[in-house]
């Protein structure tokens, strides 16, 4: 079954601040499957405000071009607002987002537990309370969990899933798959008050408030210093103003002090702000804030030290792994991860910051893992490649959601390790390689890999390094199917080309492209040699010279992919592997021997792209065509080095870094 098809009806209880946003996200995500989204609240005026909020956001989407009016009409038609809780009786998933008062939650959950089918999932969008506390009197706790959304719920991609201890594992996996399919980045979090991310953010609010109270800066200054220290886009006081979060933060800090660490406590100034209902005095976007060097020297290390201590406490407690916390906190809060801070400051800088913070707050949590990082001189690397087995098939997933699964050196290392493990495991017959989410299989090579090149030798080395990783896939003894869950651009396309076969989703309009010439380079991980051998010299040259994006249907017609699949993708991939192993089907042929010269005299408009890079590309493709694949790949390495020696490569990369992929570079053709 499709990961979202079980959602015939979704219920949202509460039409206050976050309930309508949750409902809006489901209405958008499920617009093509005729699901109903019911918003229930006992307050008719709250329902009307929620309806108006949703309509206002959708109207803004139409005006900005994000939505078409026809789609908006379908979303609005799927939404239903009601005061009658019994209308939720047939729902497959109900999320309560009405209150943080545990007594009221109990009443709601007991009533919903009586109404819903035992197979329905019952969730609470609490930001702090544990599922054991929320569902203590609810029938069928094996279907109950916390689903914690982050502000703004319809756009922030992170959700924390905190299952009740009795929650069925199969149901949890279904929820994780569903949220991934509808564009969220879900994290399974162990149960504890506040979960994984709120104790860190609310702890930063406590730090900021105490710094203001002690005279180290005005709120707008401390707010801006928090952004400077931690890479925040929105400072802690600004976030409090946007979310109306002072009361819930004060309440959360008080309970964290008894359940997590005595360091947590609501500062007197925060209590005053709650009592008065005032907003923090913060700077507007783009407004200059006067800060002295003395302030920066005093405040920045305190933010660094406190932040690392709070993150380390979460990791030490086992609430979330270091790698998942790194990814989750970057996306949810738009903040530098603790690992990023560590690498920026170095072990000595971190040790000094920790010492200053601990001197100021003697009861600050002592993070064991951070001490271990300091002792080793490095923070642990993130885990970007995840492996698991289903029966006799290994499933390898590249998970870098913030970077659309882009390749970097660490991804390559982890990918090689995962593939080697699968290839040598006697219980594994074949491998499925895919990417996290629905947007990208692999969006390309991380631009930082290329921007840091300092010589021709370095350029050739990175080409040869990536080729070696992909050669391990192509030459392995077991078939590897690339399940292209989303776009495969640049290095992502080259990775797919190294696999035994490729499968793509039906109807995907933007699947594959070789856009390297937009950057002033050529494909350097096998693309100039494997793509022509798979789809033909002429089509491959046109695709690489123009950067044209190929749809899934076009990719099937060209031979780039071996088949089109519908959700759920994995069973389709397993079926294809079974057919390959049983020799009931063959993968599209990619010859390795030299090819016969082919007449190709079609004029191609390369647009704004570099004529010099185009000349290098055409030469590499046409000369490599007449060589063996191995010889052609070595030629590609040399040609990638040739690109480095052009001015256009540096123009293209600099333009991308400064202006992004939508801005054409002004090449000089030198």
The string of pLDDT tens digits covering residues 564-613 is 999 889 999 999 999 999 999 999 999 999 998 877 667 899 999 999 99
In the prediction, which pLDDT does 580 show? Answer: 92
The string of pLDDT tens digits covering residues 422-446 is 999 999 999 999 999 999 999 999 8
Using a pLDDT cut of 70, give the percent of the chain over it: 99
The string of pLDDT tens digits covering residues 128-156 is 999 999 999 898 889 999 999 999 999 99
DSSP 30-55: TTTTT-EEEEE-S-HHHHHHHHHHHH
Nearest to 298 by CA among 175, 406, 388, 214: 214
Q: Give the strand order in the sheet containing 385-390.
A: 385-390, 393-398, 430-435, 480-483, 501-505, 563-565
Backbone angles phi, psi at 273, to 5 degrees: -65, -40
Q: Which two tokens stand for residue 9?
A: 């009806």
pLDDT at residue 660 above 90? no
Task: Tell me which of 1.10.1740.10, 3.40.50.720, 3.30.930.10, 3.40.50.920 is the CATH number of domain 9-188.
Answer: 3.40.50.720
Q: Which of 154, 460, 516, 634 is catalytic?
A: 516
The string of pLDDT tens digits covering residues 167-178 is 999 999 999 999
Using an 8 Å Cβ cutoff, are 150 and 125 in contact?
no
Output the 3-class SS for 615-659. HHHHHHHHHHHCCCHHHHHHHHHHHHHHHHCCHHHHHHHHHHHHH
Please, which residues have CB within 8 angstroms of residue 130's CB and are 6 or more apart in sequence? 146, 162, 191, 192, 193
In the prediction, which pLDDT does 162 show? Answer: 98
pLDDT at residue 452 above 90? no
Q: What angle do CA 309, 310, 311 make, to 5 degrees?
A: 95
Please, which residues have CB within 8 angstroms of residue 115's CB and are 6 or more apart in sequence? 85, 86, 88, 89
Backbone angles phi, psi at 184, to 5 degrees: -90, 165
The answer to whether residue 603 is catalytic is no
Q: Which two tokens stand for residue 221?
A: 């200054």
Output the 3-class SS for 88-102. HCCCCEEEECCCCCH
Using an 8 Å Cβ cutoff, are 536 and 549 in contact?
no
Roughly how many angstroms between the first and final C-alpha of the chain, as a whole number?
Answer: 54
The answer to whether residue 516 is catalytic is yes
Mean pLDDT of 401-423: 96
Query: Where are the CATH 3.40.50.720 domain residues in the chain?
Result: 9-188
In the prediction, which pLDDT does 662 show? Answer: 85
The string of pLDDT tens digits covering residues 112-122 is 999 999 899 99
In the prediction, which pLDDT does 600 show? Answer: 65
Identify the three-state secondary structure at position 599.
Answer: coil
Backbone angles phi, psi at 82, to 5 degrees: -150, 150
Calculate the average pLDDT of the chain: 95
Residue 34 burial by Cβ neighbours in a 10 Å radius (0-12, 13-18, 19+) = exposed
The string of pLDDT tens digits covering residues 286-309 is 899 999 999 999 999 999 999 999
Identify the three-state secondary structure at position 407.
Answer: strand
Please, which residues have CB within 8 angstroms of residue 407's CB and are 6 or more apart in sequence? 398, 442, 444, 445, 446, 449, 466, 491, 492, 495
d(CA 378, CA 360): 25
Query: Which architecture characterizes domain 385-659 according to CATH?
Result: Alpha-Beta Complex (3.90)
Fold of the domain spanning 198-376: 1.10.1040
- DSSP3 helix / strand / coil % (the chain, rounded to 5): 50, 10, 35
The string of pLDDT tens digits covering residues 10-66 is 999 999 989 999 999 999 999 988 899 999 999 999 999 999 999 999 999 999 999
In the prediction, which pLDDT does 601 show? Answer: 66
Query: Where are the CATH 3.90.226.10 domain residues in the chain?
Result: 385-659
Q: Which of 96, 210, 460, 494 is catalytic?
A: 494
Mean pLDDT of 624-641: 97
Query: Where are the CATH 1.10.1040.50 domain residues in the chain?
Result: 198-376
Q: Which residue has the higher pLDDT, 603 or 655?
A: 655
């Amino acid at each position: 079954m499709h990961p979202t098809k079980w959602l015939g009806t979704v219920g949202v209880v509460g039409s206050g601040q976050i309930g309508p946003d949750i409902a809006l996200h489901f209405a958008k995500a499920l617009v093509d499957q005729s699901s109903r989204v019911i918003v229930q609240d006992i307050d008719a005026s709250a329902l009307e405000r929620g309806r108006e909020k949703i309509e206002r956001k959708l109207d803004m989407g139409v005006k900005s071009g994000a939505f078409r009016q026809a789609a908006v009409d379908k979303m609005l038609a799927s939404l239903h607002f009601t005061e009658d809780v019994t209308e939720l009786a047939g729902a497959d998933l109900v999320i309560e987002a009405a209150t943080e008062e545990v007594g009221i939650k109990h009443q709601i959950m007991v009533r919903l537990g009586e109404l819903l089918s035992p197979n329905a999932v019952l969730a609470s969008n609490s930001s702090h309370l544990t599922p054991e506390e929320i569902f203590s009197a609810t029938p069928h706790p094996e279907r109950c969990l916390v689903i914690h959304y982050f502000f703004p719920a319809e756009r922030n991609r992170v959700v924390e899933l905190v299952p009740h201890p009795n929650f069925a594992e199969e149901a949890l996996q279904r929820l994780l798959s569903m949220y991934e399919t509808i564009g969220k980045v879900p994290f399974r979090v162990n149960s504890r008050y506040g979960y994984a991310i709120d104790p860190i953010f609310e702890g930063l609010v406590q730090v900021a408030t105490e710094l203001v109270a002690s005279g180290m800066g005005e709120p707008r200054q401390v707010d801006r210093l928090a952004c400077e220290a931690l890479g925040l886009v929105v400072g802690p006081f600004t976030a409090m103003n946007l979310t109306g979060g002072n009361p819930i933060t004060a309440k959360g800090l008080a309970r964290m002090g008894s359940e997590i660490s005595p360091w947590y406590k609501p500062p007197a100034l925060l209590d005053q702000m709650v009592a008065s209902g005032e907003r923090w005095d913060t700077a507007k976007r783009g407004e200059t804030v006067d800060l002295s060097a003395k302030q920066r020297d005093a405040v920045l290390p305190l933010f660094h030290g406190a932040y690392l201590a709070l993150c380390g406490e979460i990791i030490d407690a086992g609430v979330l792994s270091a790698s998942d916390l790194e990814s989750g906190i970057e996306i949810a809060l738009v903040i530098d991860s603790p690992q990023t801070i560590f690498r920026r400051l170095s072990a000595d800088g971190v040790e000094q910051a920790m010492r200053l913070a601990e001197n100021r707050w003697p009861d600050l949590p002592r993070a064991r893992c951070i001490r271990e990082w300091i002792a080793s001189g490095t923070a642990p690397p993130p885990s970007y490649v995840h492996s698991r087995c289903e029966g006799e098939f290994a499933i390898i997933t590249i998970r870098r959601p913030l970077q659309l699964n882009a390749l970097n050196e660490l991804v390559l290392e982890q990918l090689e390790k995962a593939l080697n493990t699968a290839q040598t495991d006697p219980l594994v017959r074949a491998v499925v390689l895919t990417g996290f989410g629905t947007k990208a299989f692999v969006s390309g090579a991380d631009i930082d890999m290329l921007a840091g090149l300092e010589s021709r030798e370095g350029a050739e080395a990175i080409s040869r390094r990536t080729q070696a990783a992909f050669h391990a896939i192509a030459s392995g003894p077991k078939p590897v199917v690339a399940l292209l869950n989303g776009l495969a651009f640049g290095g992502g396309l080259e990775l797919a080309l190294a696999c035994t076969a490729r499968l793509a989703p039906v109807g995907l309009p933007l699947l594959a492209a070789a856009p390297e010439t937009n950057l002033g380079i050529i494909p350097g991980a096998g693309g100039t040699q494997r793509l022509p051998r798979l789809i033909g010299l002429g089509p491959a040259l046109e695709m690489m010279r123009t950067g044209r994006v190929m749809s899934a249907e076009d990719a099937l017609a060209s031979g780039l992919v071996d088949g089109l699949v519908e959700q759920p993708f994995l069973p389709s991939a397993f079926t294809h592997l079974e057919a390959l192993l049983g020799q009931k089907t063959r993968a599209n042929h990619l010859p390795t021997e030299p090819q016969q010269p082919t007449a190709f005299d079609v004029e191609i408009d390369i647009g704004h792209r570099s004529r010099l890079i185009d000349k290098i590309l055409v030469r590499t493709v046409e000369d490599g065509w007449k060589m063996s694949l191995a010889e052609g790949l070595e030629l590609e390495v040399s040609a990638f080095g040739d690109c480095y020696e052009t001015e256009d490569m540096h123009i293209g990369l600099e333009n991308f870094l400064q202006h992004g992929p939508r801005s054409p570079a002004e090449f000089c053709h030198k």
